[in-house]
Amino acid sequence: MTSAPPADWLHTARELADDLATDAVEREQAGKPPLDEVARLRESGLLTLLVPVAYGGGGADWRTAYTVVRTLSAADGSVGHLLGSHYFLSYCARFFAGPDRAARVERAFTAGQWYWGGGIASQEPPLMLTPTANGYVLDGHQRYGSGVGVADRLVVRAAVPGTGEPLAVLVDPAHPGLVNGSGGDTFGQRLAAAGGVGFDSVPVAADDVLGSLSPDDGALSPFAGLAAPTARLVSAQFCLGVAEGLLGEVREHGRAAQSAWQPFSPQPWPGSPPQDPYVLTAYGELAVAARAAAALADQAVAALTNGLARGEGLADEECAEIAVLASAAEAAASRAAQEITTGAMDAVGVPAAFARRGLDRFWRDTRTHTLREPVAHRLREVGDYFLNGAHPPFSLPA
């Protein structure tokens, strides 16, 4: 496959988003495994967007990747979530493995055009990684993993018996000892192929143990510490994309339909713009919420991009500032998405409840995500840093 030139990535994302939007309601209501959706991502070249050109990838940066996730989330929240999780998980080798191992993994990734799933969330109990003569075997059950139903490779959190140190581990899900389980029957993100997964003596090569996930002070470099804010900004971009997608749909309704709050007028003014002050105020509040959260997310993305460019020269205090800004951006985006996906449907009124319109999918996708990532933890981190200068703990999201 020939990768698209860097300048064309956003155009590619917009074209794919337009394609996904044409049947998003029907696909979401059918709830089939997203094999076709992942195939579309693969064909577009977007899966390897972040891989260096020297290794066969797109050579783009995280600013571009976040824009792509936001664009696709606006059209189809499940696909946006699939791609955002894939970007973070496929980047983990750079955060936690050495340069040589990361290069080997990324070359194999582009050669196989892998879709990455799994999860290394801090709240997830680690699997057990037992040493053997030929490497390791992996046992246990992961309660939640993203894209596990369609992944070509999984990244999971595991621990070696005795030390208990958590490690990031790369796993081939084709092994018969790996079984996808329950947990994906949520009311939102129906096409995200998420759920539980079990491991029964799944072999793991020594080179597929990427590195430590230990939260202990000094265990990770400041550069590796950027994994947490990188993941948090994936969450923020997903929330913003879904919110903006719903706003785009209800705006057309608001321009054409009579206000849900105004008594029916037997003599409407065809072609005239809406003038109901309640409608205008409601949409004004939603637009402000979206723009404010987007501005904070853009600020956090700029800080993260600069931090990633510093590499191993990044200092602890710089990493902490980026982490706090990312936590603030995720909290703002989460709150804005919840406000917008509820308020926009209120503004539309009864037609928002019609299944054929599919507007409820935006609310369901948002609420499913925000239940997994409650903002209280992020606000506590921001407050502790503001009052006490405390660095946020290393904690990876679901």
The β-bridge partners of 141 are 198
pLDDT the model gives residue 353: 76
326: left (phi over 0), alpha (psi -120 to 50) or beta: alpha
* 3-class DSSP string for 379-396: HHHHHHHHHHCCCCCCCC
Q: Tell me yes or no: is domain 116-212 CATH 2.20.28.120.
A: no
For 116, list phi and psi in degrees, rounded to 5: -100, 135
Q: What is the CATH number of domain 6-112?
A: 1.10.540.10
Distance in angstroms (rounded) separating the CA atoms of residues 388 and 24: 46
pLDDT the model gives residue 3: 46
pLDDT the model gives residue 269: 46
Q: Is 248 helix (H, G, I), strand (E, B) or coil?
A: helix
Whole-model pTM over 0.85: yes
The residue extents of the domains of the chain are 6-112, 116-212, 222-388
Angle (nearest 5°) at CA 375 between 369 and 381: 140
CATH topology of domain 222-388: Butyryl-CoA Dehydrogenase, subunit A; domain 3 (1.20.140)
pLDDT the model gives residue 77: 95
Asked if residue 86 lies in contact with residue 69, where contact means CB atoms within 8 angstroms, the answer is no
For 235, list phi and psi in degrees, rounded to 5: -60, -45
Distance in angstroms (rounded) separating the CA atoms of residues 214 and 218: 9
pLDDT the model gives residue 262: 55
Angle (nearest 5°) at CA 351 between 253 and 18: 50
Low-confidence ranges of the chain (pLDDT < 70): 1-7, 181-184, 253-275
* Percentages (nearest 5) of helix, strand, coil residues in the chain: 55, 15, 30
DSSP 353: G
pLDDT the model gives residue 280: 84
85, 97, 146, 158 from 169: Cα distances, Å: 16, 10, 15, 7
Distance in angstroms (rounded) separating the CA atoms of residues 198 and 315: 38
